[in-house]
């Protein structure tokens, strides 16, 4: 099979690690987003750690609004000095790179915390959740008071430091007052799962209550464990926000007080004018409802978060050292990795010729099978090709595949550090015929020829998140879930191995 080497989005920015941009030394990649990549760095003049957000240069030509939006983000945050809004230190350009320097938050984002609990089948403590969202509500209201609508409120944009202080970040889609609709007319920017109905129609329709709606979706998910609107495509989810009533929260969690449900549904009203006037008013109304009807559920509200045993999201990951005795392999399987023989193996007697012939036949059959599957992935199935450094997910359906309900679990450490949730995939979708890649940081690979395109990729720096690897927890397989239903069990790989695993989306129950 012919392999096509592609230049992954962000390859130029990968080369920034170890370099200096302006007065900032770039140390390592922290995260990737729709329009930028975020690095951990150091201010060489002051010696303090910073987060450096660099605009993806290869996207500017295809979207001329990116540079303006990026600069608008810098200006918007710069004038929003608030305890719960990410502080900005500097905005600049260097050799054609546009970058934004911010405070480095030592902690995790809310999405990671929700996923960690979901992995254990648990929900977040209500008091703790309301305390986090109350902090963010104050940031949202402060932005609104200064003429800024965020337009992309979601769990991954809420950072929580080791002391329990929440910070709102990623103002890349800000709308500066309702009259500023530059370059957004007729376009819906935002994340489908959290987008308000008016914003789903067109981004210039966003108003302060649009951010309150998104905040309500977050709280709905925390309290019920489900999203108010789901679908197989981004359009289906958006149409749900626009025209469908949300499922009553108490139908999913009977422990939610009736008064809290009423406030939650009010914040999810289709008409912005029918929602709460401020984000703080919304969270406060829910808090009062709980304290009146279920005080035990919020007894941790205002309880200081213990900084003991913190788990910084940006902790230095263990290094993966490649074995120099192992060969590399192409995605067509033309080169096999063979582990070197041990001294004991070298002393063994040579096998009989017949045994050699049988073994050779089996090996040829295995190789043919691998090549066949790589060249001819089954239609209407998801196919994964993976080795110890990368995993490629191919959408063999003739439609976009919704990844939000996916979860991959190797799961033996009990800490939620070794699973992967599909809602991390950009836009919760893999388009028909396209591929999505998970890879070790800095690892380059070829894209299989049957992939019509590369939807996106994610670099995982912590081996604990390589759910398809046998090491370091010595597990022979991982499980694939869809909508909490087990649909496949796939073998893990050791260093030097490669595997293919294919499965279908479960048929909805009638």
Cα 429 to Cα 456: distance, rounded to the nearest angstrom: 10
152 is catalytic: yes
Burial class (CB in 10 A: 0-12, 13-18, 19+), 329: middle
Cα 172 to Cα 178: distance, rounded to the nearest angstrom: 16
* For helices 208-224 and 279-293, angle between their N-to-C axes, nearest 10 degrees: 30
* Cis check: omega of the bond before 28, within 30 degrees of 0: no
For 25, the 3-state DSSP assignment is: strand
Cα 211 to Cα 295: distance, rounded to the nearest angstrom: 28
Q: Is 337 left (phi over 0), alpha (psi -120 to 50) or beta?
A: beta
Burial class (CB in 10 A: 0-12, 13-18, 19+), 348: exposed
Taking alpha carbons only, the member of 370, 307, 30 closest to residue 169 is: 30
How many Å is the Cα radius of gyration of the chain? 25
User: Which residues lie below 8 Å from residue 508, measured CB to CB, with a gap of 6+?
Assistant: none
Residue 360: Cβ within 10 Å count: 10
Question: In this structure, what token pair is assigned to residue 385?
Answer: 């090709």
Phi/psi at 438 (5° precision): -115, 130
User: Which residues lie below 8 Å from residue 347, measured CB to CB, with a gap of 6+?
Assistant: none
Phi/psi at 244 (5° precision): -100, 145
Q: Which residue has the tokens 């109905």?
A: 197
How is the chain split among helix, strand and coil, in percent rounded to 5? 35, 25, 45
CA distances from 362 to 353, 356, 357, 370, 499 (A): 14, 10, 9, 12, 17
Catalytic hit among 131, 152, 388, 419:
152
Question: Which CB contacts under 8 angstroms, 24+ apart, belong to 183-191?
Answer: 183/65, 183/68, 183/69, 184/65, 188/238, 189/151, 189/152, 190/151, 190/152, 190/214, 191/152, 191/154, 191/427
Q: Which residue has the tokens 């990671």?
A: 112
Write the DSSP assignment of 447-466 as a string of letters: EETT-S-EEEEEEE--GGG-
Active site residues: 152
């Amino acid at each position: 099979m012919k392999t096509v080497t592609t230049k992954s989005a962000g390859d130029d920015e990968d080369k920034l690690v170890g370099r200096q941009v302006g007065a900032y030394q770039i140390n390592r990649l922290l995260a990737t987003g729709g329009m930028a990549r975020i690095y951990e760095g150091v201010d060489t003049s002051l010696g303090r750690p910073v987060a450096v957000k660099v605009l993806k240069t290869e996207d500017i030509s295809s979207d001329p609004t990116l540079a303006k939006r990026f600069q608008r983000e810098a200006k918007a945050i710069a004038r929003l000095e608030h305890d719960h809004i990410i502080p900005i230190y500097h905005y600049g350009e260097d050799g054609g790179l546009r970058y934004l320097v911010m405070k480095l938050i030592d902690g995790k984002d809310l999405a990671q915390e929700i996923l960690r609990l979901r992995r254990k089948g648990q929900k977040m403590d209500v008091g703790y959740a309301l305390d986090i969202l109350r902090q963010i509500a104050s940031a949202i209201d402060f932005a609104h008071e200064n003429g800024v609508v965020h337009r992309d409120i979601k769990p991954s944009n809420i950072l929580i430091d080791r002391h329990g202080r929440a910070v709102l970040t990623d103002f890349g889609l800000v709308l500066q007052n309702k009259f500023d609709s530059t370059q957004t007319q007729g376009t819906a920017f935002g994340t489908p799962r959290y987008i308000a109905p008016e914003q789903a129609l067109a981004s210039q329709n966003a108003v302060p209550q649009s951010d309150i709606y998104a905040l309500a979706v977050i709280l709905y998910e925390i309290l019920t464990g489900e999203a108010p609107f789901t679908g197989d495509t981004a359009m289906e989810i958006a149409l749900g926000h626009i025209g469908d009533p949300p499922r009553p929260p108490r139908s999913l969690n009977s422990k939610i007080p009736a008064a809290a449900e009423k406030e939650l549904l009010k914040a999810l009203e289709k008409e912005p004018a029918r929602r709460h006037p401020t984000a703080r008013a919304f969270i406060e109304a829910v808090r009062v409802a709980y304290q009146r009807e279920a005080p035990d559920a919020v007894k941790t509200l205002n309880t200081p978060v213990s900084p003991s045993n913190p788990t910084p999201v940006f902790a230095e990951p263990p290094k993966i050292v490649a074995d120099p005795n192992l060969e590399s392999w192409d995605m067509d399987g033309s080169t096999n990795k063979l582990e070197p023989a041990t001294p004991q193996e070298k002393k063994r007697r040579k096998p009989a010729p017949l045994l050699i012939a049988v073994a050779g036949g089996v090996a040829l059959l295995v190789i043919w099978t691998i090549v066949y599957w790589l060249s001819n992935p089954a239609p209407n199935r998801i196919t994964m090709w993976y080795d110890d450094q990368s995993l490629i997910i191919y959408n063999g359906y003739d439609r976009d595949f919704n990844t939000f309900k996916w979860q991959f679990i190797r799961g033996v450490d009990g800490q939620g550090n070794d699973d992967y949730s599909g809602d991390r995939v950009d836009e919760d979708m893999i388009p028909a015929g396209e591929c999505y890649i998970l890879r070790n940081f800095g690892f380059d690979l070829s894209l299989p020829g049957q992939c019509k395109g590369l939807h996106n990729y994610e670099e995982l720096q912590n081996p604990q998140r390589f759910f398809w690897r046998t090491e370091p927890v010595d597990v022979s397989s991982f499980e694939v879930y869809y909508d909490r239903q087990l649909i496949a069990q796939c073998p893990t790989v050791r260093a030097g191995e490669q595997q293919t695993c294919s499965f279908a989306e479960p048929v909805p129950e009638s």
